[in-house]
Amino acid sequence: MKLSHILTNTVTLLSLSLGVEGHFSRSRNDAVGPKHPFRPLPHSPPRRKLCHVRSHGDGSDDSKFVLAALNKCNHGGKVVFDADTEYTIGTALDLTFLNNIDLEILGRLTFTPDTDYWQANSFKHTFQNATTFFNLGGTDVNVYGGGTLDGNGQVWYDLYAEDALILRPILVGIIGLHGGTIGPLKLRYSPQWYQLVANSSDVLFDGIDISGYSASENEAKNTDGWDTYRSHNIVIQNSVINNGDDCVSFKPNSTDILVQNLYCNGSHGISVGSLGQYPGEVDIVKNVLVYNISMYNASDMARIKVWPGVSSAMSEDLQGGGGLGAVSNITYDQMFIENVDWAIEVTQCYGQDNLTLCNEFPSDLTISDIHISNIYGTTSGARDPNVGTIVCSSPDVCSDIYVENIDVLSPSGTNDFVCTNVDESLLQVNCTSG
């Protein structure tokens, strides 16, 4: 599937198959239709070589077969993971050498549950102790076929419950990819985030089906759908995400990002951040459009989360505060929510429960030029009577936040917002505190 074909899609077929098209096509003032990337995405030339990946078929490591096929068909070929075939991956694979190649995944790739091996050998990244099973990068790489990548997450969910400091691999590492498409694909049971997109540009994700919950009492935690980091001109669209953390999260230095036509269930929303975690680091997130989203059974819909200017602890394995930077030109538009705690959550006190301390040491990272509009639906009642919160640590570092046309009710029929250190004249909502 080439970029020129994918970009002609006008509806999300995955959402239609789940019967949620009524929410994507909900009658609103503006017609719902796909938006264009911030800049045109590159096209792929025809592939003229074909390679099939062998499989032992008995659970033995097939990584050598994968590498052999990729090397043979690199620079102008297509590598096929055959349908109805099980592939076992037991080796950390550096696939950042790929150029002008397609990977058609029709079968199932399962990563071994050898937690000792993966903690020692998975690829380490500098941000938030992230690690990946493999790194896929290069130029003009397309991965599609509708097959499955399975992270064998249950053993990791149980291990993480015993030790919160273990390094859990991310299922898909898109690292240093410039030009390419990912999807359609099924992603299952990731130990941590499902996809990390780092140091990449001009990449389209289309038709990603994410799901994977714990079968034990130990939750599948931190299972973000996407985390973008130091990347620009990324498109994420036409996908279904059933997970337990951010549906999409824009981490530091994510710019020119389009997210549209998603069905998110059980998540923590579509989030800018968290940002400002590391003192001395400059985090920039700008030019982000989030459009036409259905959000169910979640903590948030539109979320911007920034660490304060003082050290704070979100959890045993997540602390921070005092970083620099800016969030600007962020737009959320056309969203339906059901059973969501906060329709909107903007905070510069992420990880800090002591608001007095947060205001005493306001964030060193500014928030400005934010536009949130056209949200419809109902909240969960967890924050009743409030349906949204916009809390800045200081008006000096938080400005030009515009909110309008928010048709959201709590179960008790209220639509109140918590507003602190923000220009309420720009908020067309009922602020009850400030």
> What was the pLDDT predicted at 71?
98
Residue pointed to by tokens 């928010």: 406
Q: Is the Cβ–Cβ distance between 364 and 404 less than 8 Å?
A: no
Query: Which amino acid is located at 90 in the chain?
Result: G
pLDDT tens, residue by residue, 294-337: 999 999 999 999 988 888 887 777 788 889 999 999 999 999 99
Q: Is the Cβ–Cβ distance between 336 and 367 less than 8 Å?
A: no
> What was the pLDDT predicted at 6?
37
> What was the pLDDT predicted at 31?
54
Let me know if 56 is a catalytic residue: no
Q: Which residue segments constitute the domains of the chain, with CATH numbers given? A: 3-50+154-433 (2.160.20.10)
Catalytic residue among 23, 125, 178, 268: 268
First to last CA, the chain: 51
Q: Give pTM, 2 decimals.
A: 0.92
> What was the pLDDT predicted at 433?
67
> What was the pLDDT predicted at 361?
87
Q: Is the Cβ–Cβ distance between 357 and 302 less than 8 Å?
A: no
What's the CA gap between 310 and 335, in Å, rounded? 34
Burial of 407 (0-12, 13-18, 19+ CB in 10 A): exposed
> What was the pLDDT predicted at 243?
97
Q: Which of 15, 17, 35 is nearest to 25 (CA)?
A: 15
User: What is the DSSP secondary-structure string of 253-268?
Assistant: TEEEEEEEEEEEESS-
pLDDT tens, residue by residue, 346-361: 998 888 888 888 888 8
Q: Which of 343, 353, 357 is nearest to 315 (CA)?
A: 353
pLDDT < 70: residue spans in the chain: 1-32, 433-434
pLDDT tens, residue by residue, 57-70: 999 999 999 999 99
> What was the pLDDT predicted at 32?
61
- Sign for the CA dihedral angle at 305, 307, 312, 315 comes to positive
